[in-house]
Amino acid sequence: MSADDDETMAGESHPGTGLPGPMIVLAGGVLVGAINIYLAASLLPTAVADLGGASFYAWNMTIYLVAMVVATMLAGRSLSRWGNVGAYLIGFATFTAGSLACALSPAMAVLLASRGLQGLGAGLLSGLGFAVIRSALPPRLWTRGTALMSAMYGVGNFAGPALGGLFAQLGSWRPAFAVMAVVSAVCGALVPRVLPSVLPSGERGDPRPPVPVVSLLLVTAAAGAVSVAGVLEGTFAKAAGVGVALLLVAGFVVHERGSELRVFPRTTYQGGSSLKWVYLTLGLLAFGVAAESFLPLFGQRLAGLAPLVAGFFAAAISLGWSLTQIGSSLVTGGRAVRRLRVLGPLLLAAGLLVQGLLQREEAPIWLVAVWVPVLFVAGAGIGLAYPHLSVAAMSSTRDPEEGRRAAAGIATVTSLSIAFGTAVAGVLVNLGGGSMLDSARYVLFGLALLCAIGALTAHAANRTDPSPTTRPPLTRPATRADGGGRSQQ
């Protein structure tokens, strides 16, 4: 088979000259969801002063993240049923409706329900952003495409607090949600113009694919438990919440291994497969992002920074993540890719460790200036490894339906890991008691240790996939064991 046939089978269904259009839609979908993870956190104090309902304050992030995690797991099935255009239109419409409902909310309960609707749209768009790369871009551009997708998480973590802080400082929170609705609507209007209207030949799945209800319930409960753990009072309560979440995740894995109706591809649970190690490494990299939730607090308390300045200081991790991927995505050699997979978690862990060592009470301005490049280097560790791990997940199976599911799983793993990491960081903050310096060190040292484990999982991924390349395997449909024509769900 020729190289041209290879690329056609792998999903080059859109003309190469129109690539900017699809990438605007794919990246825009991931970006609006990433921005909204932290946008409302900056706006909520102003919203509470307007609407009341302070007792529901903590549920803002919980409802959004749980809805987002659930929706990412349905992205592959949405593609099978409605195709690229239909699935994206549903995602943007849901997010736009949720954003408008947030802007018009008359009470806190309505705002929280609207945030859940936003989360469903954001999660679907995040999952689609990775899954549709297989059909919207030629394989030679998968690494750059996934680099852009994952960079949107970093940009969102930077833009969310900045946008929210700007509107909060102006004393008006509703226009921020209206702006997000407009951005989402514009991206949605582009969808029919720039995306393939159907999936490539051989990739259409069941028009009514079954939903893995048990898996969804288990992972929803886990996401809810870890999100609630992050807002509980007391170290023991937080640890108990994280423990319950881990048990639910274990139950999820056990169920998926023995079920024919699953969220992640069958390959994830097969012995000798690299996919489970790829997902674990992606998750541990995402843990490092959790530090951004607490860095503004440390900057204000330990260095006396103004809130807006502290917010931009904390975004140095996301900035390093986003910018580094520009160069990392150009690396194609198998040996270099393997090294970047391992180097990324090590660099992230080293940056967090050094940042912990540099924490001081009443830190002088020169020391604060040193913090920024250190955090940038930590974020660069994510940028070095993330795009290559994403392509490894996308290329892990020859079955196109399973391949889309593997790609959509990237967003699921990232969203769930950010939720887990934030809750774990909340537990570590409490270990410091009344000392903000101790709290900062516990968070940074603890997250550094967890992220360093990613080097081990990356090594395991390299060992089971010794020759990673940016070129995927042929994507011809697999046959069912019972003789049917489609891959088994």
Tell me the pLDDT band of 135, cut-offs 50, 70 and 90: low
Contact between residue 46 and residue 171 where contact means Cβ atoms under 8 Å apart: yes
Residue 350 has pLDDT above 90, yes or no: yes
Say yes or no to pLDDT of 370 above 70. Answer: yes
- From 3.40.50.1950, 1.20.1250.20, 1.10.10.10, 3.40.640.10, which CATH number describes the 19-195 domain? 1.20.1250.20
Average pLDDT over residues 160-184: 84
Find the range with the poorest average confidence among 19-23, 44-48, 127-131, 295-299.
19-23
DSSP secondary structure, 374-416, as one string: HHHHHHHHHHHHHHHHHHHHHTS-S-HHHHHHHHHHHHHHHHH
- pLDDT for residue 112 is more than 70: yes
pLDDT digits (tens, 9 = 90+) for 382-419: 999 998 898 888 887 777 777 777 877 888 888 788 77
How far apart (Å, rounded) are the C-alpha atoms in residues 200 and 212?
25
The residue ranges of every structural domain in the chain are 19-195, 263-470
Q: Please give the mean pLDDT across all residues of the chain.
A: 80
Residue positions counted in the chain: 489
Q: What does the pLDDT read at residue 2?
A: 39
pLDDT tier at 305, thresholds 50, 70, 90: confident
CB distance 447 to 362 below 8 Å: no
DSSP state of 224: H
Tokens of 353: 């460790």
395 token code pair: 């290329």
Q: Which residue has the tokens 């198998």?
A: 334
Range with the lowest mean pLDDT among 202-211, 350-359, 407-416?
202-211
The tokens for 207 are: 């028009």
Q: What is the pLDDT of residue 51?
A: 85
7-18 average pLDDT score = 40
Same fold, 19-195 and 263-470: yes
Residue 71 clears pLDDT 60, i.e. is over it: yes
| pLDDT higher at 219 or 306 | 219
Q: Which CATH architecture has domain 263-470?
A: Up-down Bundle (1.20)
**CA 468 – CA 340 distance, rounded (Å):** 11
Average pLDDT over residues 306-328: 79
The percent of residues above 70 in pLDDT, for the chain, comes to: 84
Most confident of 289-293, 423-427, 441-445: 441-445
> Does residue 85 carry a pLDDT above 50?
yes
**Better-predicted residue by pLDDT, 104 or 194:** 104
Sorted by sequence, the CB contacts under 8 Å of residue 303 that are 6+ apart come out as 310, 362, 363, 365, 367, 368
- Residue 41: the pLDDT is 67
